[in-house]
Every structure is written in structure tokens, then in C-alpha cells.
Amino acid sequence: MGIITTLYTSVNDRVSEIGTMKAIGAKNTFILALFMSEAFLIGILGATSGVLIGIGGGYILSGMVPHSASGPGGGGGGGHPAHVDPIFVPSDLLRVWSLSLLLSIAAGIMPAWKASRLSPLEALRRT
């Protein structure tokens, strides 16, 4: 939802810019490509930062595992901390990254299409 809102707001905030570009001869495909490349860039940055933050969070949370109890039924660890290493499967990370990028592109289709279909007169009148 955040990506959709960001891209929709981007289109609405740049209506006069779109109108000016269309008035000087920009084609619908150029406007569509402009907003789709923006969605692609947001997707790459968001997916990459999300995966990196997730990996970092996994290591931070693994360090917060409480000490195991000693004695009968308590794990018998003798009070030593339980060591838990996070496991990150590269194929799963790639799948999550790809899904995030795909969702970003899918979320950008409607605002980009709306921007490319805007008439120059209507766009310049809205400002």
C-alpha cells in the first residue's frame, strides 16, 4: 500500500509537469516509461533495504536469546547462553527480493497509465 500511495501521490503532484511535457510533444509511452522506471527504482531500493534490514534484524534478535536454565528439566546448559544462529537461505532471499520488486512494478502500473493518458489541456488546467 505504501508503494501505491507513493506512486499515486507522485503522479498527482506532478500533473503540471506532465502537462508541460505533453504540450511540448512527449508521447504517452515516454510518460509511461518515466513513471514505470520510477516504480522500478523504488522497488529495487525498497527490496534491497528490506532484505538487508531483515538480515540485520535476524542477527540482532538472535543475540537477544535468554540464558538457558541449569538443573533438571531446565535444559542443562549450566547457565551458559543458548547460541542461535539465524539461517538465511539465498534462494529464499532472492525470491523475497524478486517478489518485492514485482509488487512495486505492479503497483506502479495504474498511476503510470493514468499519467500517460492525461491530456495536456486538462493537466495544465488543474494547476
Reported as a single tens digit per residue, the pLDDT across 7-26 is: 888 888 888 888 889 889 99
Containing domain of residue 80, as a range? 2-126
pLDDT tens-digit profile of 75-97? 555 555 667 788 999 999 999 99
The pLDDT assigned to 112 comes to 86
Among residues 112, 122, 96, the alpha carbon closest in space to that of 28 is found at 112
Q: How far is CA 38 from CA 1, 54, 112, in A?
A: 16, 24, 9
Is 70 exceeded by the pLDDT of residue 114? yes
**Residue 74 φ then ψ, to 5°:** -100, 10
CA atoms within 13 A on the CB side of 39: 28
The pLDDT assigned to 79 comes to 55
| Count of the separate structural domains present in the chain | 1
Question: For residue 70, what pLDDT band results from cuts at 50, 70 and 90?
Answer: low
